[in-house]
Amino acid sequence: MRLLVYLPLLIPLLAALAARPLAARLEPRDATWLLTVAAVVLAGCSTVALALLAASAAARVPALASMGDYSQSVVHRADPTPAVTGAVAALVLTGAAVAVTVAFRHRARALAESYRRAARLHDDGTVVVVRGTAVEAYALPGWPGRIVVSGRLLEALDEPGRAALLAHERAHLAGRHHLFTTVAHLAAAANPVLLPLARTVDYTVERWADEHAAQVTGDRRLVAVTIGRVAMMATPARWPAATLGMVRAGSHRVSVAWAGPVPRRVAALLGPPPRSRVLLVAAAVLIVMLTGACAVQAARDLHALLELARAGH
Please give the DSSP secondary-structure letter assigned to residue 245: T
Q: According to CB under 8 A, which one of 245, 273, 283, 304 is a site residue for other proteins?
A: 245
Cα maximum dimension of the chain: 82
For 13, list phi and psi in degrees, rounded to 5. -60, -45
Q: According to CB under 8 A, which one of 82, 125, 260, 273 is a site residue for other proteins?
A: 260
Q: According to CB under 8 A, which one of 63, 67, 84, 249 is a site residue for other proteins?
A: 249
Query: Who contacts 58 (Cβ-Cβ below 8 Å, separation ≥6)?
Result: 64, 86, 90
Q: Does 262 bind other proteins (CB under 8 A)?
A: yes
Q: What gap in Å lies between CA 86 and CA 75, rounded to an integer?
A: 13
* 121 CB neighbour count, 10 Å cutoff: 16
Q: What gap in Å lies between CA 295 and CA 44, rounded to an integer?
A: 9
Q: According to CB under 8 A, which one of 84, 237, 242, 247 is a site residue for other proteins?
A: 247
Q: According to CB under 8 A, which one of 197, 227, 305, 306 is a site residue for other proteins?
A: 227
Q: According to CB under 8 A, which one of 8, 28, 161, 196 is a site residue for other proteins?
A: 161
Distance linking the first and last C-alpha atoms of the chain: 21
Q: Does 168 bind other proteins (CB under 8 A)?
A: yes
Instruction: Give the binding range for other proteins (CB under 8 A) out of 6-14, 37-45, 259-267, 277-285.
Output: 259-267
Q: Name the minimum Å distance from CB 20 to other proteins.
A: 16
Nearer to other proteins, 51 or 148 (CB): 148
Q: According to CB under 8 A, which one of 270, 287, 296, 308 is a site residue for other proteins?
A: 270
| Site for other proteins, residues 78 to 117, rule: CB under 8 A | 106-107, 109-111, 113-114, 117
Binding mask 42-81 for other proteins (x = CB under 8 A): ----------------------------------------
Nearer to other proteins, 43 or 167 (CB): 167
| Site for other proteins, residues 196 to 215, rule: CB under 8 A | 205-206, 209
Which stretches of the chain are DSSP H helices?
A: 7-25, 28-58, 62-68, 72-78, 83-120, 151-156, 159-174, 177-190, 195-217, 220-234, 261-270, 278-311
Q: What interhelical angle do 177-190 and 28-58 show, nearest 10?
A: 30
| Site for other proteins, residues 120 to 139, rule: CB under 8 A | 120-123, 128, 130-132, 134, 136-139
Region label for 139, one of left (φ > 0), alpha (ψ between -120 and 50) or beta (otherwise): beta
Q: Does 170 bind other proteins (CB under 8 A)?
A: no
Q: Name the minimum Å distance from CB 84 to other proteins.
A: 36
